[in-house]
Amino acid sequence: MVETKAGKSKGIARRKLLGGVAGAALGSGAVTGFPTIWAQNIRNVVLRQFGTGVSNQNAIAEKCKEDLGITLQMTALDSDAVTQRAVTQPNSYDIADIEYWICKKVFPAGVLQPMDVSKIRLFDKIVPIFTTGKLTPTSTIAQGTAPNTVGFVDGPGSTRFASAPTQWFTMIPTIYNADTLGIRPDLVGRPIRNWKDIMDPAFRGKTSILNIPSIGIMDAAMICESAGVIRYGDKGNMTRAEIDKTIDFLIQAKRAGQFRAFWKTFDESVNLMASGEVVIQSMWSPAVTAVRSRGIPCVYQPLEEGYRAWGGGLALAKHLRGLQLDAAYEYINWYLSGWVGAYLNRQGYYSAVLETARQHMTADEWGYWMEGKPAQGEIKNPQGQVMERAGAVRDGGSFEQRMGAVACWNAVMDEDRYMVQKWNQFIAS
């Protein structure tokens, strides 16, 4: 009892003292690297994180416990379940690990709170896709729910997205990537260059697209535009007429027997490809790796029209305050500090702050994953399994080549409800 009291008063004293120091430090501009304010108390904090992406990675929770003492309780769910839980059970989590298009749905429900960017030490180093929307000052912002369009709100209590960066950031990016079609180079028998190639009659009964409406519709849009069926105003926010035309095109293809199956989960896509049921299909990058690791050739084919990108981030629950909120900021700052970034980059994803991640990777790893250079030695995943041998080059090339060629982002549309009705019609037809 006595001891706890002593501990507390000490904590408060430290806080006062450090407050002064931090103020001084702010003035001098050297904010980074000051000792953790709540270091003593934070060790006992438990943060409940749930979501789709990085919440699947227990190694991050273990490392976090080791470095900060914060206990992360991770729960992994699929994106539909995440959306549901984020909105309907806002007190069941402290940190939501969600995708940007989910953020567009969930943030307006008032269950999350924005972060104060002044408390995020490496905010300026975050890849500008997530702040200004432009990878380089000259790039154009892709269609769809681009992360910068839902990245900021007007104020601490606001649920309205701001059109330009403000001090209030909705989500810290975790992982993101550029998706395209996966192919079996040994079975397609010809070069694949465009999204429309999936509709080639030569591949009748040997193709697949994913049956998650909000993502599948984007792949469909890339295909339709490539095939010259339709030219969209904004693929990420279609009009009813555009949706009708897209779905009609899909229904025709389905009736003609173009598709072998529609997949909904990662393992389904791996099995379809590995078993030779399909030779060209929508795919996610780790699925391509999984097929290749079975010794089956599989290429994540770059296409002329560009990539469909996606990204996820960590958002803070509205109910977080006091010590827990401080711990959450501490966690986020740790998250950007490099170890996690390198860990994620090594799995073929991209991370939020590249500069710090680089410090935790070897030159060969950095060259292979980020610069599109041939591997010098074996490239291993974080578990130590060999992913690629010397000489291998990443499909699609460097970070700039891949993320610079994004045509659209996963999106949620204004006509969402209508789109889903039509999508169901396509599946039922």
Partner 1 sequence: MKGRVAALALASPLALILLAFLLVPIGTIVVVSFFDYDSVRMFPAFVWTNYEELLLSPITWKTYLQTLWFAAVTWAICLAIGFTVAYFLAFHVHSALMQTVLFLICTIPFWTSNVIRMISWIPFLGRNGILNSALLSMGAIDRPLEFLLFSDFAVVLAYVHLYALFMVVPIFNSMVRIDRSLVEAARDAGASEWQVLRNVIIPLARPGIAIGSILVVAVVMGDFVTVRLMSGGQSASVGLMMVNAMSLLQYPAAAANAVVLLVVVLLMIAAMLRVVDIRKEL
How many Å apart are CA 291 and CA 275, to the nearest integer?
Answer: 9
Beta carbons of 422 and 247 less than 8 angstroms apart = yes
> Is 248 an interacting residue with respect to partner 1 (CB under 8 A)?
no
Bridge partners (DSSP) of residue 193 are none
Q: Per this entry, what is the length of the chain?
A: 429
Stretch that binds partner 1, among 39-47, 82-90, 142-150, 169-177 (CB under 8 A): 82-90
Q: Where are the beta strands (DSSP E) in 129-227?
A: 143-144, 152-153, 168-169, 172-179, 181-183, 207-210
- Helix, strand, coil percentages in the chain from 3-state DSSP, rounded to 5: 45, 15, 35
The residue range among 47-55, 100-108, 162-170, 284-292 that interacts with partner 1, by the rule CB under 8 A, is: 100-108
Contact stretch for partner 1 (CB under 8 A) within 112-120, 127-135, 273-281, 362-370: 273-281
Nearer to partner 1, 108 or 397 (CB): 108
Strand-pairing partners, residue 209, are: 262
Cβ count near 327 (within 10 Å) = 25
Is 398 a binding residue for partner 1 by CB under 8 A? The answer is: no
Q: What is the DSSP letter of 320?
A: -
Q: How many CB atoms are closer than 10 A to CB 5?
A: 9
Among 89, 252, 275, 359, binds partner 1 (CB under 8 A): 275
Q: Residue 255, interface with partner 1 (CB under 8 A)?
A: no
Q: Which of 213, 236, 302, 396 binds partner 1 (CB under 8 A)?
A: 213
Q: Which of 364, 371, 400, 416 binds partner 1 (CB under 8 A)?
A: 416
Q: Among 1, 2, 12, 428, indicate the residue that binds partner 1 (CB under 8 A).
A: 428
The phi, psi pair for 284, rounded to 5°, reads -105, 150
Q: Which of 168, 262, 331, 350 binds partner 1 (CB under 8 A)?
A: 262
Site track for partner 1 across 153-192, x = CB under 8 A: ----------------------------------------
Distances (CA, A) of 316 to 84, 90, 143, 330: 16, 10, 26, 12
Q: Which is nearer to partner 1, 58 or 88 (CB)?
A: 88
22 binds partner 1 (CB under 8 A): no
d(CA 36, CA 129): 29
Q: Which of 18, 25, 77, 87 binds partner 1 (CB under 8 A)?
A: 87
C-alpha closest to that of 101 among 408, 310, 404 = 310
Which two three-digit tokens encode residue 409? 């982002």
List, in sequence order, the alpha helices (H) in 210-362: 213-227, 240-255, 266-274, 285-293, 322-335, 339-345, 354-359
For residue 360, state whether it binds partner 1 (rule: CB under 8 A): no
Query: Does residue 427 belong to the site contacting partner 1 (CB under 8 A)?
Result: yes
Taking CB under 8 A as the criterion, the residue among 32, 44, 385, 424 binding partner 1 is 424
Contact with partner 1 (CB under 8 A) among 245, 264, 319, 358: 264
Residue 205 touches partner 1, criterion: CB under 8 A? yes
Backbone phi and psi for residue 398, each to the nearest 5 degrees, phi listed first: -80, 170
Which residue lies nearer to partner 1 by CB, 184 or 308?
184
Smallest separation (angstroms) from partner 1 to the CB of 413? 10
Q: Which is nearer to partner 1, 206 or 308 (CB)?
A: 206
Choose the stretch contacting partner 1; rule: CB under 8 A; options: 7-15, 80-88, 307-315, 395-403: 80-88
Largest CA distance in the chain: 79
Facing residues of 99 across strands? 312
C-beta of 204: minimal distance to partner 1 in Å? 10
- DSSP code string of 119-130: G-TTGGGS-GGG
Kindly list the residues in this chain that would bind partner 1 in the complex (CB under 8 A): 80-81, 83-84, 87-88, 105-106, 108-109, 205, 208, 211, 213, 254, 259-264, 271, 275-277, 412, 416-417, 420-421, 424-425, 427-429
